[in-house]
Amino acid sequence: MSLDYSALLYDPVYLELGVPATFVSGSVEADLTVIDDTRPKIIPAGSVEVRSVGPGAFVRMQELETNGIVRDNWIDAAMNFNGRTWTVRSWELRGSPNGEDFGEVRFLLKAAEVG
């Protein structure tokens, strides 16, 4: 494939939509650029619909690799961006036409414990 989607697609998107974030997992600390993907979320409970948000963040796989962040570091990592601190509870890969190593990961987050 001749097209480099990282340069043509992700770089301008992250330049426009990305925000600075800190990522901490044990001894691994890094400054990243993430796209805040906090979405509205509804969970039904019988007749009730409870409304909240499902926090998430996109990060480029290449940026994680550049900062020495491997998959073992993802779960339970602390991420801070846009004034809030979250904990990574799960993740899902978003591959690119150049392969998953050149795509994104969407971190599924939960509110960090206070205190």
Binding-site ranges for other proteins (CB under 8 A): 41, 43-55, 89, 108, 110-111, 113
d(CA 61, CA 10): 11
Q: Taking the complex as a whole, how short is the minimal distance between the CB of residue 6 and other proteins, in angstroms? A: 30
- Nearby residues of 48 by Cβ (< 8 Å), 6 or more positions away: none
C-beta of 3 vs 75, nearer to other proteins: 75
Between 7 and 48, whose beta carbon lies closer to other proteins?
48
DSSP 20-57: EEEEEETTEEEEEEEEE--EEEEEEETTEEEEEEE-EE
- Judged by beta carbon, residue 14 or residue 107, the one nearer other proteins is 107
User: Residue 43 CB, nearest distance to other proteins (Å)?
Assistant: 5
